[in-house]
Amino acid sequence: MSFGTLGLIVMVIGYAAGASVSLLAPSDRAARVLTAIGAAVGGIGGSIAAASVLITRVPVETTFASLVSAAGGIAIRLDPLGAFFLLLVAIVGLPATVYGITYTGEYEGRHSLRLFGLMFNGFLLGMSLVPCAANVFTFLFAWELMAITSYFLVMTESQHAETRQAGLWYAVMTHFGFLVLLPMFLMMAPGGGATAFADLRTHAALMSGPARNVVFLLALVAFGSKAGLVPLHVWLPRAHPAAPSHVSALMSGVMIKLGVYGVLRVVVDFLGAGPAWWGGLVLAAGSISALTGVLYALADNDLKRLLAYSSVENVGVIFLGIGAGLVLHSYGLHALALVGFGAALLHTLNHACFKALLFLATGNLLHEAHTRNMERMGGLIKGMPQTAVLFLIGSAAAAALPPLNGFASEWMVFQALLSGVQIPQPDVAIGAPLAIGVLALTSGLAAACFVKAFGISFLAMPRSDGAARAREAHWSSRAVMGVLAAGCVGLGLAAPRIFDGLFRIAAGLSAAASSASPPAVGSLWLAAPNGVAQVSPLLIAAAAVLAIGVPMALVRLRGLEWRRADTWGCGRIQQTARMEYTSSAFAEPLRRVFSELYRPTEDLSINVHPDSRYFVRSITYTSAVVPWIERAFYDPVASGMRAFATQVRRLQGGSVHLYLLYLSGALMAALVAAWWFK
Amino acid sequence: MVADPLSQLVMLGSSGMLLTALIVLWRKGIPAYVTAYRWQSWLLAAITATVGYYGHDPQLYWVAAVLLALKGIAIPALLRTMQRRFGAEREATPYVNTETSLAIAGVLVLFAYVIARPWMTITNLPTRQGLPLALALLFVSLLIVVSRKKAMTQVIGFLMLENAIALLAAVGTYGVPLLVEFGVFLDALMGFLVMQIFVYHIHETFDTIDVEALTRLRH
């Protein structure tokens, strides 16, 4: 038995045991620990399987034809692409599991931790099985397991009306995606009950052009709704804040990435990429998501919602990579196309790492400051210095600062987009620079966004009592965050080596491009083949260490002393928290520039003394962003549904005879129909 | 045309069963309904036994015996107890009056013959003459359930519907296995018991077994 098979068995048993044993736990405390043990064993098994497949490059295959034989049985095939995503589950899943042991402590006695353990392990199992699935039934089963368990995890704090609403949005959007998945698979199935992915792949190659286009569009909508592409992103900024923080880390770090997996699997693997407009459409969707995501993130004061919008942005960046790859593939530039797909995979990995770190750190802030609103935080660096440093590393990675990992992957997406200029076609010549511009703008805005996220929450003076009393979280949660932060640095430094591996995974997807060799630039330089520029994260890091280390060493050698002093207070004698820069104030210039997008509502009320209007008692300023994009898309749907439901309610007359009459009428109609179409 | 005796007997029995259903449409007293139901059940048992005799299927004798015991004796007895309690309430003002009901029933019988025609052309069972009659019985039972107001009448309508399904099974498949018959019958029995409880509750809550009163539950 190979390591791959063994790992998969351990994985399934671990998660299944974690789910069932935690349900039988004698106490809440035991449930917390048992949940974590099961999830940890499952995660380790999953990473063994994934690592063995990634190293040996030999897929692991098993089928259980007798299990649910009516639907084609359970079929497992873990190839390098699947193994990459399975590894992603473990990379985020293990830290989130350990973090959850202490984090769920506050739920003791308030929520059922036994059911939580069942759902948590079920969620991890579902996410792990999606990339292992090798037939339609297994895929849909795992997909639905993941969707349903995550719904219950989002609903953990269902006593809040906001959470219940988030759950509704999430359930509707995820099932909408499922509804679109079914016809997509049906169209690719060759008929005769064959639903194995291998059959789908051979049949997809024989399909007519229009049918392939329809499958592509369905795949983009179905997986885009899971990944959070605008305008299908509406559930993200609702569900991520509502879920417990380590669940948010898993949803944002891994679950939405399975949408990326789906697109790569169906569009690149099954359909073998397609005409250039497919890539153009993906590029457009990615650009819009990246820009809208980061702009909404900038304007938000809720830290978790900010991170959720930032996930929309990063998914946009990933889709920019995929889109660039599809365009280049359609023009026969296979090696460059693989740079695009490889960059998308690299950003998937990097985003999982830093976003998980940021969500876990935010969980600590929420736990201490008892609010998600940044306007009520501030000065947290004094109470929780280690969390602050870890959050800063995550923010710097999210802002794509070199030499951290976010930089490496965005750089490679840039390289893929820049390669587009080699195509002498007017539409590409216009589209590629536009996408480059959008990506550049997005990167800049993301940097501003994370300056705000870190600065407003951690720096200056505390704006509330909770923030003033904040203390460091349990050492175990800081330790796992440390591991993720080390991952952010390590993935950044080792990016050329990792990119090389991801390039090979992408090469395995497309038969046409399988012969393309990765750019031979060693482990030092990040560059595309025939690229115009190259960059080395390792050298940048070395330069940065030198730039800080040499002056420090000089100071030491010369025997100069460190001096601590107050920040310059603009000459004011007493500083209060009310004088500080606020989150809204930080975003105000951008709110003006992009007022057409935000359409902010502003409300200024000044309470003056009755005797003289020059004596102001208080000023209240509130400003809210109107999410008109959501309203434009979803209000007609919602009102249509409501009108339809009102019409349907008329059927309910309240009379038993009426209902019986419906029943008889339906029977008669069925008989007449059978007679008519005999 | 010299029809074989089985076909003749099935026709006779099925017509008799349809006739008992029509009785419910033009009589107004609940005791008459119970009697009609008893006659119908006996006819059903007789048809089943006939099919068993000509089809050389001794299992059907058991089916017939069980039908006779439960539908022909036990349930009518239970209905009698219910009728003694609520029997004073007559089906005075149904939604559809007697004349129209009978006219509709006539249309339904025609409809059943139309619907059953394609079925009858593809089967050559000796019992196929009973198919349209069984369908007609089914429709007429539905008409009873829909158009009558008293809970007792509706229960009897439901039981006749169940008889129609049993008849359809007997003539359409040349006798059903004992096991299937038992399954269907236990279903119907459960339904009947639940309905019996409901009738008592309706009477307790509204002081009548007029189902129209249930409309008041809507808010």
What is the predicted pLDDT for the residue at A521? 58
Q: Which residue has the tokens 């107890």?
A: B81
Nearest to B218 among A654, A667, A668 (CB): A654
CA distance A549 to A446: 28
A676 contacts in B (CB within 8 Å)? none
Size of interface A-B (CB pairs under 8 A): 36
B115 contacts in A (CB within 8 Å)? 671-672, 675
Which tokens go with A125? 């199992």
Nearest to B215 among A654, A660, A661 (CB): A654
Confidence of residue A561 (pLDDT cuts 50, 70, 90): confident
Task: Name the residue in chain A with its Cα closest to that of B212.
Answer: A655
Which tokens go with B7? 């076909």
DSSP-based three-state secondary structure for A473: coil
Tell me how far apart the terminal alpha carbons of chain A are, to the nearest angstrom.
Answer: 56
Using the beta-carbon criterion (under 8 Å), do A655 and B214 form an inter-chain contact?
A: yes
CA distance A34 to A115: 12
Q: Within an 8 Å CB–CB cutoff, is residue A670 touching chain B?
A: no
Contact between A226 and A53 (Cβ < 8 Å): no
> For the CA atoms of A172, A175, A180, A186, what is the dihedral angle to 10 degrees?
-160
Q: Prior bond to A231 cis, omega within 30?
A: yes
What is the predicted pLDDT for the residue at A485? 96
Q: Which residue has the tokens 């000459």?
A: A571
Higher pLDDT, A166 or A619: A166
Which tokens go with B120? 């009858």
Q: Which residue has the tokens 């090389």?
A: A500
Confidence of residue A427 (pLDDT cuts 50, 70, 90): confident
- Give the tens place of pLDDT for each residue, A354-370: 999 999 999 999 988 88
A655 contacts in B (CB within 8 Å)? 212, 214-215
User: In A, residues 645-664, which contact B (CB 8 Å cutoff)?
Assistant: 652-657, 660-661, 663-664
User: In B, residues 45-104, which contact A (CB 8 Å cutoff)?
Assistant: 95
Contact between A321 and A343 (Cβ < 8 Å): yes
Interhelix angle for A80-103 vs A334-369, to 10°? 10
CA distance A313 to A413: 14
The maximal CA–CA distance of chain A, rounded, in angstroms, is 102
What is the predicted pLDDT for the residue at A422? 80
Nearest to A675 among B118, B147, B218 (CB): B118
Residues 6 or more apart whose CB falls under 8 angstroms from that of A296 comprise A237, A309, A312, A625, A627
The H or E element containing residue A617 is strand A616-624
Q: Which of A99-103, A244-248, A567-571 has the lowest mean pLDDT?
A: A567-571
Domain boundaries, chain B: 5-217
Where does residue A189 rank: exposed (0-12), middle (13-18), buried (19+ CB within 10 A)? middle
Residue B12: how many CB atoms within 10 A of its CB?
16
Single out the residue of A360, A355, A303 nearest to residue A102, CA to CA. Answer: A360
Residue A599 region by backbone torsions, left for phi larger than 0, else alpha for psi between -120 and 50, else beta: left
Residue A332 region by backbone torsions, left for phi larger than 0, else alpha for psi between -120 and 50, else beta: left
Residues 6 or more apart whose CB falls under 8 angstroms from that of B205 comprise none
What is the predicted pLDDT for the residue at A654? 74
Confidence of residue A619 (pLDDT cuts 50, 70, 90): confident
- Give the tens place of pLDDT for each residue, A82-117: 999 999 999 999 999 999 999 998 888 888 889 999
Using the beta-carbon criterion (under 8 Å), do A672 and B146 form an inter-chain contact?
A: no
- Give the tens place of pLDDT for each residue, A314-332: 999 999 999 999 999 999 8
Confidence of residue A313 (pLDDT cuts 50, 70, 90): very high
CA distance B43 to A471: 86
Determine which of A652, A663, A671 to mutate to test the interface with B (most B C-beta atoms within 10 Å): A671
Which pairing describes strands A601-608 and A616-624: parallel, antiparallel, or unpaired? antiparallel
A667 contacts in B (CB within 8 Å)? 142
Q: Residue A127 above 80 pLDDT?
A: yes
Using the beta-carbon criterion (under 8 Å), do B215 and A655 form an inter-chain contact?
A: yes
Residues 6 or more apart whose CB falls under 8 angstroms from that of A159 comprise none
What is the predicted pLDDT for the residue at A678? 66
Q: Which of A495-499, A544-548, A596-600, A660-664 has the lowest mean pLDDT?
A: A596-600
Q: Prior bond to A403 cis, omega within 30?
A: yes
Contact between A230 and A285 (Cβ < 8 Å): yes
Contact between A267 and A278 (Cβ < 8 Å): yes
Residue type, A52: S
Contact between A132 and A78 (Cβ < 8 Å): yes
Contact between A252 and A359 (Cβ < 8 Å): yes
What is the predicted pLDDT for the residue at B1? 44
**Mean pLDDT rounded to a whole number for chain A:** 90
CA distance A126 to A85: 12
**Helix segments in A232-333, DSSP class H:** 236-242, 245-250, 256-263, 276-299, 303-330
Which tokens go with B209? 């077994």
The CB-side HSE value for A237 (13 A sphere, CA atoms) comes to 25
Summarize the confidence of residues A135-155 as an average pLDDT: 94
This prediction's pTM: 0.81
**N residues, chain A:** 678
Confidence of residue A466 (pLDDT cuts 50, 70, 90): confident
Q: Residue A151 above 90 pLDDT?
A: yes
What is the predicted pLDDT for the residue at B3? 62
| Alpha-carbon distance B145 to nearest alpha carbon in chain A (angstroms) | 7
Q: Within an 8 Å CB–CB cutoff, is residue B214 touching chain A?
A: yes
Using the beta-carbon criterion (under 8 Å), do B214 and A671 form an inter-chain contact?
A: no
**pLDDT under 50 in chain B at which residues?**
1
**Helix segments in A459-494, DSSP class H:** 465-468, 475-493
| Alpha-carbon distance A669 to nearest alpha carbon in chain B (angstroms) | 11
What is the predicted pLDDT for the residue at A531? 67
Contact between B31 and B84 (Cβ < 8 Å): no
Single out the residue of A175, A87, A66 nearest to residue A131, CA to CA. Answer: A87
Percentage of residues in chain A with pLDDT exceeding 70? 98
What is the predicted pLDDT for the residue at B218? 64
What is the predicted pLDDT for the residue at A351? 96
